[in-house]
Amino acid sequence: MPDHARLLRKLDLPRVLAVVDAHAEPGSPYAATGALLRAVGSDLADLSSAALEEPSRVAHFLAGLLRVEAPCAVVVENAQHADVADAEVLAVLLHRDDVRLVVCTGMEPVFDPPGGLPAVSFRGALASRTVLVEGI
């Protein structure tokens, strides 16, 4: 496991608002998203059940909260283990220019998680909207 703190110091980042873990427990969606919402003083409980069924709505709600905190950065660890809801939220956030998102993964390839087709591809967003920085 690379020393993320050492790698983060090498990046030209604004204030790091939160470091969250996207490793999803079975049956527990929104691990990273829930942690990010709590970091900005909100919670999944603030969202309607209808919104929770649409990760893109959750992503845009979260993006609005993060925009208030801008300029800031968010670090997401274990992104390769994100569930389908978190993966879609992260994909949407990667397309936003007002928040720097640092996505940390292991050495294995990142795929869109099984369990449904996301509206926005996480793997595609990683390929088109990120710069690879390899650790030791």
pLDDT, tens digit (0-9, with 9 covering 90-100), for 34-61: 899 888 888 777 777 777 788 888 888 8
Q: 76 forms bridges with which residues in the sheet?
A: 20, 103
DSSP state of 2: -
Which domain, by its residues, includes 107?
Answer: 4-129
Q: In this structure, is residue 44 part of a structural domain? A: yes
Number of domains in the chain: 1
Token pair recorded at residue 107? 């050495």
Q: In this structure, is residue 78 part of a structural domain? A: yes
* Residues 6 or more apart whose Cβ sits within 8 Å of residue 112: 84, 87, 118, 121, 122, 123
pLDDT of residue 1: 42
Q: 77 forms bridges with which residues in the sheet?
A: 21
The 10 Å CB-count burial string (b at 16+, else e) for 79-110 is bbbbbbbbbbbbbbbbebeebbbbbbbeeeeb
CA dist 115 to 26, 86, 88, 96, 112, Å? 12, 12, 12, 25, 9
Q: In this structure, is residue 70 part of a structural domain? A: yes
Q: In this structure, is residue 43 part of a structural domain? A: yes
Q: In this structure, is residue 134 part of a structural domain? A: no
pTM, 2 dp:
0.84
Q: In this structure, is residue 136 part of a structural domain? A: no
Q: In this structure, is residue 61 part of a structural domain? A: yes
Residue 76 confidence class, pLDDT cut points 50, 70, 90:
very high
